[in-house]
Amino acid sequence: MPEVIDRLKGKGWAEEEIRRTARILEESPEKKSPKLIMLDKIAYWTGLFLAILANFVISVMLIPFLIVMKSFYLYLALIFIGVAFGWVFSLLIADIESIKTGQHIVAWIFIPAIALINVYLMTDLSNFIAVLMEMPSSTHHSTLVSVVYVASFMLPYSISKLIKKQSL
């Protein structure tokens, strides 16, 4: 805690702001009421469930794009969709202030892994549909499509972590 106080003093914070911040930082989750702890957990798991559901919906909605679009425009659309959804999910997780670091790690490993699997399977399905429709030029490499989407999805969170790390 002393290093945080020294850092805040070095940034020109007023003494009252430093005392208030130190008091807030000293309050531990154990001092919270059981109801608040339960609400935090419900909010976290609801957000996680919604992110999983949204990832599935997005991967299903990608099927027409995968069938119709050619490589460059498809990857551009994937990057846009991935960054947009990743930004929303990053805000969702950041707004749940009581989440411990370990739970952030779970969310940011679990959700991208599910997204990777979903987009991979939907790309395979769209490739199958394209072949049935006799449009073999519309097939795409499933692994590459999945990796581009998940990397784009994780970009906003990674940038926010870098910015937060540099501001300390």
| Tally of domains within the chain | 2
Residues 13 and 46 in one domain: no
* pLDDT score for 44: 76
Residues 23 and 47 in one domain: no
Residues 16 and 91 in one domain: no
Residues 95 and 146 in one domain: yes
* pLDDT score for 101: 53
User: From first to last of its 168 residues, what are the pLDDT tens digits of the chain?
Assistant: 677 778 888 888 888 888 888 777 776 555 566 676 677 778 778 878 888 898 899 889 989 988 888 888 899 999 999 999 989 888 877 766 555 555 666 777 888 899 999 999 999 999 999 889 988 777 889 999 999 999 999 999 889 888 877 876
* pLDDT score for 32: 61
* pLDDT score for 83: 94
Q: Which domain holds residue 21?
A: 1-31
Residues 18 and 82 in one domain: no
Residues 2 and 64 in one domain: no
Residues 25 and 37 in one domain: no
Spatial separation of the C-alpha atoms in residues 10 and 29, rounded to whole Å:
28
Residues 79 and 6 in one domain: no
Confirm if 56 and 115 have CB atoms less than 8 A apart: no
Residues 20 and 66 in one domain: no
Residues 16 and 71 in one domain: no
**77-88 burial string, b = 16+ CB within 10 Å, else e?**
ebbebbbebbbe
Residues 22 and 103 in one domain: no
Using DSSP's 3-state secondary structure scheme, residue 128 falls into helix
Spatial separation of the C-alpha atoms in residues 51 and 86, rounded to whole Å:
10
